[in-house]
Amino acid sequence: MERPSLTVRTLPPSVAAPDTTPLVIPTDAPGLGRARPVGPLRREGPAKLTGEAKYADDLVFPGAWFGATIRSTQPHARLIGIDLDDAFDWMRVVVVTADDIPGENIVSLIDDDQPVLVPVGGEIRHQAEACVLLAAPDRATLAEAKRRVTLRTERLPAVFDPLEADREFAHYTVERGDAAAAMETAELVIEGTYRVGHQEQLYIENNAMIAVPREDGGVTVHGSLQCPYYIHKAMKRALNMGDELAVVVQAETGGGFGGKEEYPSIIALHASLLALKLQKPVRMIYDRHEDISATTKRHPAVVVYRSGISATGELVAQEIEVIMDGGAYCTLTPVVLSRGVLHAGGPYRCENVRITGRAMATNTPPNGAFRGFGAPQTEFAAEMQINRIADALDASPLDLRRRWVYREGDVTPTGQVLRESVGGIEVLEAAAAESAFDRTHAQTRAMREGRTEGARTATGIGLALAWHGAGFTGSGEVRLASVASLELTDDGRIRILTASTEMGQGTKTIFPQLVADALGVDYDEVAIAPQDTSIVPDSGPTVASRTAMVVGGLLIKAAEKLRARVESHTGRTFAESYRDAGPMRIDEQFAPYPGEPFDDKRYTGDAYPAFGWAAAVAKVDVDLDTGEVAVRDCVSANDIGRVIHPIMAEGQVEGGTLQAIGYATIEEMKLVDGRYLNDRMATYLIPTSLDAPRLKSILVEKPYSGVPHGAKGIGELPMDVGAPAVVAAIHDAIGVWIHDLPATPERILAAMTGAPMPPPPGVSLEEPAPRTPPIEDLPAGGDKMPFRAPTDPGAER
Amino acid sequence: MGHYGEERVVSFEFTVNGERVVVEATGTRRLLDVLREDLNLTGTKEGCGEGECGACSVLIDGALVDACLVPVSQVTGASVQTVEGEAQDGRLSILQQAFLETGGAQCGICTPGMLIAGRAFLSSGTEPTDHNIREAIAGNLCRCTGYTKIIDAIALAAQRSAHQ
Ligand code: FES
Ligand code: FES
């Protein structure tokens, strides 16, 4: 039988490619010729490499039904009624509405504003808001049932621009000295308004959750998630369940980056409601379209900035206003804003600072956590200012930072004295040296000045510096009061019990590594319990770059106690004697770090126990005809305190840097009528291997003494510096500043030619665009159509 | 999507990782679903369902293909290779071992597809330069690694294979 031709990706020809030097990687593995030991191999690596690792959609539950969500297609409306078509036999499916919720119709988080499902008579506040749930035994029935549900709505006026919104989620002011008076005395004042848009986390595994009802009346959810206890709390409240009835189990998780911090609570509730009503397991597996349409994004922001520089060349005043778009519900917005405000000054000494921030509600899907959590937005603005000041003074951007960067003993806008672990200058020097910044900067300048009319491309180099508070903001860690446990089982095994999740960043490797070191045993002797709320304590959410520092620190303390107890008991070393010493268990609870407690009302004191420091240098080529940017090189130097596992730490830096490059150049959500237009992988583009430069990461160690191992956070830090470095490089190449992210070809060409700028990022256009097909007609969770509908016209970018 | 009900279920025969299989399915059922649901080979992942991410990469008669775009009717008689066929006798392949050592797998969801793209690259005999490897995995998205360590892994595997 003849087979029709396949869609085959052609392999590259073996002819000489642009660079023909073979990569030289020493083969003396596992050291690979590195100066330092590389750390143990990834604990769950073999399972991931053989395909054995079970992600949520890989789990099989016999008899499971498929769930789907019927969502609003209005940005703001009253839900008048839910019509179920009489022509369909509704006995074939299960339908859940707000009336079926046994507890409170609230997704528990910071504020109680978000419903699990919009009730009839209730207010729809964004496109893609969940109103009805369906489950069916097979996908065909589910798809048919979905088409037979109609939401009757009455449209209400919608707000899309946070600058025009009047509903506020949060506001903060940070003040030190007298910024207004100091600005008066300044010799040079640089002002700017910077806008950044939504960014999609685009983990490659979509959100997925499976709810399994139990005989005791409870429900167990298995899913792709970051924070088991956030979901647990949400389930207890909406499902009216006690601690033991609601159980959350993490499946292998294919990336999170903040995107699986809070939305999984909603999916878990939806799947649970269906499963409880049906009394069978229900699979709620989002496809990419639904995942992008409905789940959270990085907050768009507007940052209005004034910097004052004295005649002696000091930074004497900063006046900063931050406005964030929270979307339709509060979610984590106050905390995102808080982090954004606290980082807005950048890592620079300044005696007179006033930062105000407010987060506003718009009729767009709620925004939430994404690596950096407010800081990449405001630090982009901060670094743009510094680079523009250097430009205005005709000073070296490197020298200016050397002069202004925080040193030990300096005081931040909240009055926090930076007593130790202040690596700003070290990362700056490391990145500058590795990239030969001064020399290259002089070369690109000469190239720019010598450029002729016929030039087709321009090359530039750019620098950025940032700080990132490690762990929860302010008194957050004290309130969390996390617990991490270590047990010696009665059969003589060592087991770690924490709720900290593995999503690729290395939790399951570095925890056993830290504990094994503290106990004096081999890495392989330390096991780690599954992230299951019926087994592990609440060690807080896996967010805020807190896992290695905070939970890792608790585990080391627990290990030290366990070791002392066993050794005093047996009179021999732990390693020799632990196998017969159990059962024993240590529960270690968080105790405040040294320093000035943070005052949540006045916004003074130690905002974070310590800061990570990062510098990036990017080199770009700009196509002068098309405005396209190619990032050729990127060096990122990061002070993360003591390095636990160099390869995984570098992996965090490299991955975060490429996400920042995407944020700077191509990643933009476009909205019409409050709906994401490019809500598919074909239209929301992230960097491929061909778009990415070879990333160079440098790890700098300035240990923090507040934790036994000296580690600070790493996950988010590299995300803060990539975008401003790229935009500075674009300026170096073509001589114009791009104030809005991403720096797309359209924005670059507009800036070069003086043509009108495209609309600001993050703000929805008003006109309802023609939509084919509407959300309801597309296969939702778990539905697998063999071939997808053709691309949305108008959604192409 | 009435065609689910209307289309005829027939049997298709092909090999997966060297083993002969016969599946009963409609002709338009995606190879991806056949592998994951009918054959319980869940190592092949779905990231987009539209040929953009490469998480579903498999080799069909040695050619690199997105299994989400291939109807099962097109693989009759063909030889399909998935990530489950990469390790031999319970031992990681040179390529898998290289990923493990260089840190080429983080969350792991792109990893099966990357391994398959890497396998196709190694079999092609193309010189393992940075650029050539980038081209070979350009249809496979990774959001975790920034690609550098994946490229190192494939280069390392090429180097070790050459020394064998
Ligand atoms: S799932 Fe096939 S290419 Fe993304
Ligand atoms: S390792 Fe997570 S997407 Fe590649």
Tell me the ipTM for this assembly.
0.97
Which residue bears the tokens 């909240």? A414
Which helix (DSSP H) or strand (DSSP E) does residue A528 occupy? strand A526-528
Give the total number of structural domains in chain A: 2
Q: Is B135 on the interface with A (CB under 8 A)?
A: yes
Under CATH, which number does the domain B9-85 receive?
3.10.20.30
- Collect all residues with Cβ–Cβ distance below 8 Å to A129 and sequence separation of at least 6: A71, A72, A118, A328, A365
Tokens of A367: 């925004």
Alpha-carbon dihedral of residues A733, A737, A738, A744, nearest 10 degrees?
A: -20
Question: Per-domain residue ranges for chain B?
Answer: 9-85, 94-162
Is some CB atom of chain A closer than 8 A to the CB atom of B10?
A: no
Name the residue at shortest CA distance from atom 3 of ligand 1.
B51
pLDDT band at A794 (very low <50, low <70, confident <90, very high): very low
A773 touches chain B (CB under 8 A): no
Domain boundary among A284, A300, A332: A284
Dihedral pair phi/psi, residue A759, rounded to 5°: -55, 155
Q: Last residue of some domain: A573, A589, A605?
A: A589
- Domain membership flag for residue A576: yes
Q: Is residue A275 part of a domain?
A: yes
Per the domain annotation, does A261 fall within a domain?
yes
DSSP letters of A740-790?
A: EES--HHHHHHHHH-PPPPPPTT--BSSPPP-SS-GGGS--TT---SSPPP
Q: Name, in order, each residue with C-beta under 8 angstroms of A555's C-beta and a sequence gap of 6 or more.
A: A484, A486, A496, A498, A511, A514, A515, A518, A588
Range of the domain at A247: 65-156+209-284
By residue count, chain B amounts to 164
Indicate whether A695 belongs to any domain. Answer: no
Examine residue A638 and state whether it is found in any structural domain, yes or no. no
- Residue pLDDT, tens place only, A135-178: 999 999 999 999 999 999 999 999 999 999 999 999 999 999 99
Question: Would A738 be classed as within a structural domain?
Answer: no
CB of B157 within 8 Å of a chain A CB? The answer is: no
pLDDT above 70: percentage of residues in chain A: 91
Q: Percentage of chain B with pLDDT > 90?
A: 93
Centroid of chain to Cα A157: 31
- Does residue A141 fall inside a structural domain? yes
Q: Which atom of ligand 2 is nearest to the CA of B108?
A: 1
Is the CB of B143 less than 8 angstroms away from the CB of A784?
A: no
What would be the CATH architecture of the domain defined by B94-162? Orthogonal Bundle (1.10)
How many angstroms is it from A434 CA to the middle of ligand 2?
Answer: 27
Q: Is the Cα dihedral A173, A176, A177, A179 positive or negative?
A: negative
> End of a domain among A589, A606, A640?
A589
In terms of C-beta density within 10 A (0-12 exposed, 13-18 middle, 19 or more buried), how is residue A688 classed?
Answer: middle
Q: Is the peptide bond before A773 cis (omega within 30 degrees of 0)?
A: yes
Please give the helix or strand (H or E) that residue A81 lies within, else none: strand A77-84
Measured over the CA atoms of residue A548, residue A549, residue A552 and residue A556, the dihedral's sign is: positive
* CATH number (domain holding residue A552): 3.30.365.10
Q: How far is the CA of B69 from the centre of ligand 2 (A)?
A: 21
Query: What confidence tens digit (pLDDT) does each residue in A598-635 have?
Result: 999 999 999 999 999 999 999 999 999 999 999 999 99
Kindly identify the ligand whose nearest atom is closest to the C-alpha of B144: 2
Three-class DSSP category at A304: strand
Residue B92 amino acid letter: L
**A206 chain-B contacts, CB cut-off 8 A:** 46-47
A654 chain-B contacts, CB cut-off 8 A: 145-149
A695 Cβ under 8 Å from any chain B Cβ: yes
Q: Do B42 and A54 touch (CB under 8 A)?
A: yes
Closest chain A residue to B71 measured between Cα atoms?
A: A786
Helix, strand, coil in percent for chain A, rounding step 5: 30, 25, 50
Q: Which residues in chain A are closer than 8 Å to B121, comparing Cβ atoms? A: 11
Say how many C-beta atoms besides its own lie within 10 A of residue A192's C-beta: 15
Chain B interface includes A456 (CB < 8 A)? no
Q: Give A 19-78 residues with CB within 8 A of chain B.
A: 19-23, 25, 27, 29-30, 32, 38, 41-42, 44-55, 57-58, 60
Pick from A322, A345, A346, A348: nearest CA to A334: A322
Residue listed under structure tokens 């690792």: A53
> pLDDT digits over A206-247, tens only?
999 999 999 999 999 999 999 999 999 999 999 999 999 999
Q: Peptide bond preceding A790: is omega within 30 degrees of 0, i.e. cis? A: no
Tell me the per-residue pLDDT of A736-785, one tens digit each, with 9 for 90 and over.
999 999 999 999 999 999 999 999 999 999 876 555 554 444 444 333 33
Give a yes or no: residue A376 inside a domain. Answer: no
Structure confidence by residue, pLDDT tens digits, A675-725? 999 999 999 999 999 999 999 999 999 999 999 999 999 999 999 999 999
Q: pTM (2 decimals)?
A: 0.93
Classify residue A119 by its DSSP letter. Answer: P
